Amino acid sequence: MVVIMVTMASRSTAQRPNGSTQGKICQFKLVLLGESAVGKSSLVLRFVKGQFHEYQESTIGAAFLTQTVCLDDTTVKFEIWDTAGQERYHSLAPMYYRGAQAAIVVYDITNQDTFVRATTWVKELQRQASPNIVIALAGNKSDLGNKRVVEFDEAQTYADENGLLFMETSAKTAMNVNDIFLAIAKKLPKNEQTGSAGTSGQGRRLVEVEGQKTTTSNCCK
């Protein structure tokens, strides 16, 4: 069973989703990349808070959000860095994808340039980021299908060639938004986290939690 907690990111340890006696908490750093105005912030906002703003202000530098996803007996905690797409912030990106376990490269299906830019991001990630980073390609704004420029197959082919997860999403309709994050969560290695946590520094680590402590198990509110 897969449950997504729509509560704020920080509610985690003491609450067991299904009362399972054993559970792991994995923490992953995930970074969103892509041209400006392709809907990165909207995507994250939809995933984290379930909201959508028609006029999302443009991100300055980078924004930080967290969300916890329950996956079978594992709790996956995403630390999401939503980077700014504007060119002037490009120099910031390495700071965020360095040490990230997962990345979502977003493009706008109504804009061919954003797809081209997405491919360059993928290349940069493959070259510069950690070798076992999980990269997902998200074709956003799929609700604007009538203005589609980038064909699904084209993107799918590209994703397959590069070993990327691929989905077309819509932050507006919430289509595939949770799915793509879940897909990433599933693909992420959960048992050897300790090793990667050690290298990446910022307190990402695996915590064993004894089940018997739980007093209130009121998840899924």
Partner 1 sequence: MAENVLGSEIGFQDYHATEAIHLDIEELDDAEYAIPAVEEPPSLESILTELDSGSLSGTEDEFVTPAEILGGSETASVGSLLSLNSVSKPFRPSQSQSSSAILRHVILKGISSQISSASERINAGLASAMAAGGNMLVIGTSHGLILGFDSNQTLRWCDQEARHQGSVSALCFNHDGSRLLAGFARGHILMLESSSGKVLRTLTDVHPPGTAVLHVKFTDSPKLALCSDSGGSVFELNFTRVMGVRGCDSKCLFSGSRGEVCTLEPLLLNQLPTHSLKNYTLVAMATLSKVIVVSIRPRMRVVLTHALGGTAIAPPQVSWQLVVIQAADSTRVVDPVLALARDDAVHFYQVCTERNSRIRLSPLQRVTVSYMISNLRWLNARSLALLDTQEKLHLLDVRLQDELETLDLSRVGISYASSHFKGLSTGGNVSKAMALAGERACYNTVIAFGSQLLLLGTKSLHAVCIRTWTERLRHLTLQRRFPEALALGLSFYQDKGQAVVGLCGSKQRRKQIARDKVCDVLIQYMDDLNHCSVENCAEVVESCVNFCIQLENTDLLFGKLWELVCETDEFRGSYLRALEGPLLNGSLAPRLPPLISQQLVTLYEQEERLDSLQAIIVLLDVDCLDIHQVTKVCGQQGLWEALIYLQTSALSDFTAPIHQLMPVLQMALANARTQKLSPDKIRLGNAILVYASCCLAGRGFPRGNLPEGVTQRAKADVLRALLSQHSSSASDAERQYPYIRTLLEFDAKGFLDVITIAFQEPEFMSEMGLRQRQRLIDILLNIVLPTTPLSPDNYDYLTDEQRAVVLNFISNEVAESSVTLEAGALNRMVEMLSTVTNNSEDMSRDIEVEKENAILQLLHSKKLTNISDNCLLNLAHNANFLRVAETIYCGQEDWISVCRCMLTDKSRRYEVWEWLDCLPLDSLQAVVTAHAAELVTVDAARTAVLISNRMPNSLDNILQKMNEDPKLEYALLGALYQLIQYGEEDIKMELTTGILEKYLKLMCDLEPERVVQHLCGPHGCRLNEVLKIVQDINHTEAIALMLEKLGNYQEAFDLLLADLQSLFEMHCGGDIKSNKAIQATSELAALCRRAAGHLDWMPLVETVLHPYTENNIQKGESLQGKLLRIVLESLSGTTTLSTVLEQILKHPLATGGTIGDIRELLTGVLTHSCYDQTLVEASARLVSMELHEALKKSLRDAGKAFQNVCLYCPVCRRGLSQCTDYAVVFRCGHGYHISCIGDSKVCYQCLRTKGWAPTVTNSLPTTKRPPEKRKNQPPSLTTDRDLRLRLAPQILLPDFEGIF
Which positions touch partner 1 (CB under 8 A)? Answer: 9-14, 59-64, 66, 79, 81-82, 84, 88-89, 91-92, 95-96, 202-203, 205, 207
- Residue 29 or 142 with smaller CB distance to partner 1: 29
- Residue 173 or 202 with smaller CB distance to partner 1: 202
Contact 162, 154 (CB under 8 A): no
**Minimum separation from the CB atom of position 88 to partner 1 (A):** 7
**Minimum separation from the CB atom of position 138 to partner 1 (A):** 20
- Residue 3 or 207 with smaller CB distance to partner 1: 207
34 by Cβ neighbours in 10 Å (0-12 / 13-18 / 19+) ranks as buried
- Residue 148 or 205 with smaller CB distance to partner 1: 205
- Residue 4 or 63 with smaller CB distance to partner 1: 63
Token pair 């609700």 in the structure block, residue: 143
Quick one: which H or E segment has residue 158? helix 152-162
Question: How many C-beta atoms lie closer than 10 Å to residue 154's C-beta?
Answer: 13
Contact 84, 59 (CB under 8 A): yes
Q: Vertex 190, ends 81 and 128: CA angle to 5°?
A: 45
Can you tell me the distance from the alpha carbon of 185 to that of 7, in angstroms, rounded to the nearest whole number?
Answer: 18
- Residue 52 or 89 with smaller CB distance to partner 1: 89
Q: Which residues contact 124 (CB under 8 A, 6 or more apart)?
A: 93
Contact 25, 207 (CB under 8 A): yes
**Minimum separation from the CB atom of position 31 to partner 1 (A):** 12
Contact 196, 101 (CB under 8 A): yes
